């Protein structure tokens, strides 16, 4: 990600009062993707009040089915790679499929299913499942989404010195706006 995009991300963070992690920012390439990201970060998902706990319980059930570990070892702070160990690392692909995470751990199906990073806890995994990222869900178009789009177009227009009319969801930051 070039400096133009770093500046844009910082402007968006300030304008909307949120922090965009570097790994998310690096995946955003088009204006529509930035819009979807901001809308999904600002608009809470509907559903049960404790989605992360429900997701953790699902993770625990799947892990207990796949790994010879005791239930009390499967805690939110437990590191996944320690629970699996070398002997059971080969089971991660089946675990990821059972949790519907195979796309995330295979770069959208482009590679084999890789295990999570060594620092990934079960709590991290449960949060990923409970609060899917902007790329995992379609954006609901409504007044709120339109308000975000109008504000984003203004920020992008100012940042890149282009007309607001040139900013569409499919506009690519590098190819169309010349970001470095």
**142: helix, strand or coil:** coil
CA distance 87 to 169: 46
From the list 34, 31, 53, 57, the residue with the least C-alpha distance to 135 is 34
The number of beta carbons lying within 10 Å of the beta carbon of residue 134 is: 19
Q: What is the predicted pLDDT for the residue at 15? A: 94
CA distance 123 to 59: 9
Q: Using a CB cutoff of 8 Å and minimum separation of 24, what contacts does 64-71 make? A: 65/98, 66/91, 66/94, 66/95, 66/98, 67/91, 67/95
Instruction: Provide the total of helices (H) and of strands (E) in the chain, helices listed first.
Output: 8, 0
- Tell if the pTM clears 0.75, that is, is over it: no
Q: What is the predicted pLDDT for the residue at 154? A: 95
Q: What is the predicted pLDDT for the residue at 132? A: 63
pLDDT means over runs of 10, the chain (180 residues): 87 92 88 89 65 88 94 94 89 90 76 86 86 59 88 95 93 90
Q: What is the predicted pLDDT for the residue at 142? A: 81
Q: What is the predicted pLDDT for the residue at 24? A: 86
Q: What is the predicted pLDDT for the residue at 145? A: 87
Q: What is the predicted pLDDT for the residue at 116? A: 86
Contacts of 160 (CB under 8 A, 6+ apart): 4, 8, 177, 178, 179
């Amino acid at each position: 990600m070039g400096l133009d995009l770093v500046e844009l991300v910082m402007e968006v963070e300030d304008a909307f009062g949120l922090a965009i992690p570097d790994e998310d920012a690096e995946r955003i390439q088009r204006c529509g993707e930035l819009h979807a990201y901001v809308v999904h970060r600002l608009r809470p998902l509907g559903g049960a009040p404790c989605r992360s706990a429900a997701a953790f319980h699902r993770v625990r059930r799947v892990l207990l089915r796949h790994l010879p570990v005791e239930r009390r070892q499967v805690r939110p702070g437990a590191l996944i790679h320690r629970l699996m160990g070398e002997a059971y690392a080969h089971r991660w692909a089946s675990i990821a499929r059972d949790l519907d995470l195979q796309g995330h751990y295979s770069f959208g199906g482009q590679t084999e299913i890789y295990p999570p990073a060594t620092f990934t806890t079960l709590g991290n995994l449960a949060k990923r499942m409970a609060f899917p990222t902007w790329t995992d869900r379609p954006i609901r178009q409504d007044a709120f989404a339109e308000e975000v789009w109008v504000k984003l177009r203004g920020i992008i227009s100012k940042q890149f010195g282009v007309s607001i009319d040139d900013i569409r969801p499919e506009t690519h930051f590098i190819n169309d706006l010349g970001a470095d």
